[in-house]
A and B are shown apart, each in its own frame.
Chain A
Amino acid sequence: MDHHHDQSPAHRRHTNPVLVFGILTIATLLEVAVTLFHLPKNVLVPILLAIAFVKAGLVAAYYMHLRYEHWVYTVIFVTPALFAVFLIFTLAV
């Protein structure tokens, strides 16, 4: 694997983590707000899960730096993640 950038401080410029934190907080508030509308379950659950998976994706991409890492790490993590998303979505909806 080509990793010579891993130890270097001269990484690609990362997205502002405070901005990501702001988006995650707003998305969490949005999730809680959506539950207050008493939508039908078959509408509410997919909306909530979609927001949750986007939030999880943001954590993986920007906090775990998957977006800036070698593609092998992405394959290692995203493969079981896709299975998990499929499993949870299928069971919950």
Chain B
Amino acid sequence: MEQTTAIARPISAEATHANLNRKFGMWLFLSSELLIFAGLIGAFILTRRNIFQNGQEWWEPNTFSLALVSINTFILLASSLMVVLGIEAIRADAQRKLQRYLVLTAILGAMFLGGQAIEYSLLIFEEGHSFADPFGTAFFTLTGIHGLHVLVGVIWCLITLLVARRGRFSSRNYTTVEIFGLYWHFVDLIWVIIFTVVYLTN
């Protein structure tokens, strides 16, 4: 077991209860988020179908740099693995390991956002696509809102890292990390669907 500087506080019954409530609330929040994304993905599919049927301006399927987006998908999947390994580390009271995994998660999340920024700049500045056309609106709304979720996740990860550096987590008190993990995995789960619907079935 790693040497730690943990402020190991015994967890009270009230705190345990509060943690369970937070976790329950997080699952409810994620369920509502799931419905929001289902609506956005559904709207994207309908918009794409209408554009195709009406012969409106259409982004050719090869417009997207599939390689870049596939790498981004791999990056997000890898970041999820880092979170899982971080939670396993804190379950074993390995605080430094948890911090390392959180740093890696934040870096991978930032890399994903960087990849998305490159993709957007290619689409807008090199290929001349617009936010304003119907396909652009559907595409940028869906992928942009997801990107915003990743950004929130990266900030949340850094805050969790700061708390972890103060030695606040232990094998008996890691619900905060777990809740952050739920959010991060959810963002990953949604990307799995977006990747298929937006990029592979286009």
Contacts and interface: CB of A to CB of B under 8 A. Distances in A.
Given A44-B201, A83-B38, 11 more contacts: A9-B92, A11-B91, A21-B77, A21-B80, A24-B192, A28-B73, A31-B196, A35-B200, A64-B182, A80-B32, A91-B46
Contacts, number: 126
Contacts of A14: 88
A35 B192 CA distance: 16
Contacts of A81: 34
Interface residues of A, number: 44
Interface string A53-93: 10110011001100000001100110111011001100110
Contacts of A51: 196
Contacts of B42: 87-88, 91
Contacts of A18: 81
Dominant SS at the A interface? helix
Contact of B185 (A9, A59, A83, A88): A59
Interface in A18-65: 18, 20-21, 24-25, 28, 31-32, 35, 41, 44-45, 48-49, 51-53, 55-56, 59-60, 63-64
Contact of B41 (A11, A20, A80, A88): A88
A70 B11 CA distance: 21
14 contacts: A7-B172, A7-B173, A24-B77, A28-B70, A28-B73, A31-B195, A32-B70, A49-B201, A53-B193, A59-B189, A60-B185, A60-B189, A80-B38, A91-B45
